[in-house]
Structure 1
């Protein structure tokens, strides 16, 4: 992709430039384009090495346009993470065999999520060993990520709590944060190299026992 940057970068704007004040794009579309450009950069270089300037070039805008919507490189990575979270959670929860069963569903959420990460090139680039420095536990358990996962899991967790399957003293939102932290462990070796059966045993032993009351 050939891009000629704008006046602030000492050149002329390329065809397809959309970042000017007169561009007919709403904020949601602008953010979508910038996130898509970030994804392409991550796929080429890994999340640990991309820069805001590279995203601007990829998107065909000036750096100031990127900064209008995302203040830092980390915000761009977070936006990509959020897009992957929504896609993964929608797919995994939509495929649950019996959403009424807390134990079985928790195992499926973890194992199916790991399978989805392993098959998804974007997630592989984000969570590969080389990209891990850019996506660490503190970012995965940050409020925007917790909010996104909570929106998907809250109805199920509340249903399981109301049916008496979960321990009564669990705080649902903090439970989500803890689930994300445990899930991050399964995204890196040696856990990520385990078979689905080994992952099921781990989740049953360390997640289900901690949340689900014995029947």
Structure 2
């Protein structure tokens, strides 16, 4: 059997995550079945389960993406030299949030992730860790602002 390139594997995974996201946005986590995702992706059962053995694995992948975008923005803001004024740093973070408010934005998924985390202890641990990371980002922004005498 020929080897598949890493790019192909990443594209296939992306195809499945995108299909799951559309399904979850349309029907929610609990009403969406793996069969729905498989049909939406247009792939075989085996192809989907190769990447995601369960719906929980798909939910975790989507949770990672939903929270990951904010982390990227906060990391970029923290790397700014000289440090941005605190108001500007917060404006950039909020500008990202505003880009995610639409019907297909991550905030609709984030709400479902938060809800599902109340039922799934593994997801709850993941969400708690990510929110701790975000809190540390905001604390670092505040400390930098204090260091510049801004606060």
CA–CA separation in structure 1 for the residues paired with 2:136 and 2:103: 20
CA–CA separation in structure 2 for the residues paired with 1:207 and 1:93: 10
Normalised TM-score (structure 2): 0.62
CA shift in 2, pair 1:84/1:115, >3 Å? same
Q: CA deviation at 1:103?
A: 5.2
Q: 1:69 aligns with which of 29, 51, 60?
A: 51
- The residue aligned with 1:118 is 101
- The residue aligned with 1:108 is 91
Q: CA deviation at 1:86?
A: 5.1
1:133 aligns to 2:120 (yes or no): no
Normalised TM-score (structure 1): 0.47
In our comparison, the structure showing a higher alpha carbon Rg is: 1
Report the count of equivalent residues.
136
CA–CA separation in structure 2 for the residues paired with 1:31 and 1:37: 10
Report the 3-state secondary structure (helix = DSSP H, G, I; strand = E; otherwise coil) of the residue aligned with 1:134: helix
Which structure has more relative contact order (CA 8 Å, sep 6+)? It is 2
Q: CA deviation at 1:60?
A: 1.9
Q: CA deviation at 1:45?
A: 0.8
CA shift in 2, pair 1:123/1:94, >3 Å? same
Structure 2 stretches of 5 or more lacking a match? 118-122
CA–CA separation in structure 1 for the residues paired with 2:92 and 2:71: 8
